[in-house]
Structure 1
Amino acid sequence: MPGPKDLDPSSSPRALLGAELRHAREKADLSQEELGQRLFVSGSFIGQLEAGTRRMQREYARMLDEVLGTEDFFQRNCGAAAKSKYPEHFAEAAEAEAAATAIRQYAPLLIPGLLQTPAYARAVLRAYQPTAPDEAIDELVAARMERARILDDPTGTLLWTVIDEAGLRRVTGGPQVMVEALRHIIGLIHRNRIIVQVLPFEAGAHPALEGAIKLMDFEDAPPLVYFEGIGTGRLEDDPTTVRHQRFTYELLTASALSSANSLALIEAVAQDYAHDEHC
């Protein structure tokens, strides 16, 4: 089985820390599991730090310096790796998202961030922060659009999303914004950049009624699931939890419309919004 690919330390501070961590761990003749035991975390968590898919927190940096005898290297450098343009609760997930080879997501109430247009994202973010300065909203919109660039590469990340019909029907920003947003999704589907299924109202009760799902797979690290609430979020790598969320997602895809029928519904809803706008 091939070993992990070499990381490019110049690509980001997090990649540098990951490469240095792997070097220090191997120099200490420790496996990922053995190092994880000394930090009271899983071996897969160490692997994610080395692969750059998890952010190194200061408490772990201090423990790594102690266990690996690296003086204060990780403590001095984890601050630079922690800087992010995203809200604190989402920063680690956004950076993991950029490194993922596949993302499977269920969106219960709105169009997922990776598929949003600037106008739609602005309407959502303004609703979240009604008193924020325009400049702050502009920065958040720009960061969200930058995230979506992972869809530009036809050989890059696979995005498979199940959108609840509620996300299509909720008029966010007005009919014109919704027309643009849905046509953007339609364009991505026609260009074979994404897989989209719609979970229709008629599907009734389903296993994800309590919230969203985002599963991320990586080439050189274990899969992650991201749980998000209002102003909160956390990544989870527990295999049992990830396996359960993956099974839930598979049940959703079985209840959702086929890709072709989903596209037809999105086109019909977009046409309805266009008619409303014209009227």
Structure 2
Amino acid sequence: MARRKDIDGSMSVPTFYGKELRWKREAAGMSLEAFLEGSFYGKTYLSDIERGERRMPIDLARHADRVLNTDGFFERHCEDVRKARRAGHAAYFERVLEAEKHATAIEEWCPMLFPGLLQTPAYARAVVLAGLPLSANAEVEQKVSARMARADLFEADHRTPEYWVILHESLILDPLLAARDMAEQLDRVVELVERRRIVSQVLPRKCVAHPFMTGSAMIMTFPDAPPLFYTEALHSGDTIDDIALVQEYRRSYDRLRAVALSPEASLAMIKTSAEDYRNGKQPGRLE
């Protein structure tokens, strides 16, 4: 029988917390399956928490305290784990960073910016400087590097989630960067589509009234946990895990997808626009 790998609780707050959870569970004589009875989560999810690779959601922390009789220990300390931030990202984004690595599907609607998972370094740098113009160069580069690292999700040695993005036409036609850099940003989207890593659609400007007129959207689904919805403002983000509410957002996203261009027409438009920028031309609007 293979020897189980131990957990080094000194590595980080999450690994310390996960090791304590495993110790308490095994001391109670409970298997992963027995521990999870009455919860919405799968044993892979719990195993990831015990290894420090996922954060404990508050409802599962309360479940742990109840079945292990730990007097509120896991609920009290799960916030400490969530605060264990990764360099280069805001605290409110931590849950998304973790969740997207385990998602089977990610769907995004981006009315204002190309999403972080698709940004080139030049685009990410421009976004960071626009929001934090007084940042030191080292801080800017740390944020850019952190954003680029997220894109490892699309590489061959990772289990790639099904990623579907809807982009507003204005992102393509109103350049945030110089023409050559805009061509590079659009080429990045084309490359991921043609490698069958993502599906992209464009919402035309002429579609004035549509679902999600009031903000961005990111919906993540998982094989072993309830779905999550994330939306972001200038200096804050909100992650929603209420199943009924996520379903409402899911319906709105599906309606938005229905009024966007087809993936094939969208790819053709993005390709043409990239070529226009390369040739020093302003891409034309959709009729």
TM-score (norm 2): 0.77
Supply the distance in 2 between the matched residues of 1:125 and 1:238 (Cα, whole angstroms).
31
Alpha-carbon offset, residue 21 of structure 1: 3.7
Supply the distance in 2 between the matched residues of 1:69 and 1:271 (Cα, whole angstroms).
63
**2:108 corresponds to which residue?**
105
**1:126 corresponds to which residue?**
129
Alpha-carbon offset, residue 32 of structure 1: 5.1
Whichever residue aligns with residue 221 of structure 2, its letter is D
Supply the distance in 1 between the matched residues of 2:108 and 2:190 (Cα, whole angstroms).
17
Q: Does 1:236 align with 2:254?
A: no
Classify 1:192/1:46 alpha carbon distance in 2 versus 1 (closer, same or farther; 3 Å): closer
Q: Does 1:259 align with 2:263?
A: yes
Q: CA contact under 8 A between 1:48 and 1:221: conserved in structure 2?
A: no
Q: CA contact under 8 A between 1:225 and 1:242: conserved in structure 2?
A: yes
Provide the secondary structure at the position in 1 that maps to 2:279: helix
Render the CA deviation track for 1:19-76: whole Å, top value 9, x for unaligned.
Answer: 7547746838786586xxxxxxxx4489897354863489x97996697355897577
Q: Does 1:274 align with 2:275?
A: no
Which structure 2 segments of 5+ residues have no match? 283-287
Q: Does 1:84 align with 2:86?
A: yes
Alpha-carbon offset, residue 207 of structure 1: 0.7
Q: CA contact under 8 A between 2:100 and 2:220: conserved in structure 1?
A: yes
Render the CA deviation track for 1:162-204: whole Å, top value 9, x for unaligned.
Answer: 1111221231122121110001111111111110011111222
Q: Does 1:151 align with 2:154?
A: yes
Alpha-carbon offset, residue 125 of structure 1: 0.8
TM-score (norm 1): 0.79
Q: Where is the helix percentage greater, Structure 1 or Structure 2? A: 1
Alpha-carbon offset, residue 87 of structure 1: 1.1
Supply the distance in 1 between the matched residues of 2:136 and 2:179 (Cα, whole angstroms).
25
Which structure 1 segments of 5+ residues have no match? 1-5, 35-42
Q: CA RMSD in A?
A: 3.7
**2:138 corresponds to which residue?**
135
Farther off after superposition, 89-98 or 129-138 = 89-98
Give the alignment of 1:77-226 within 5 angstroms: 79=80, 82-85=84-87, 86-153=89-156, 155-226=159-230
Give the alignment of 1:34-113 within 5 angstroms: 43-44=39-40, 50=46, 52=49, 55-56=55-56, 68-70=68-70, 79=80, 82-85=84-87, 86-113=89-116
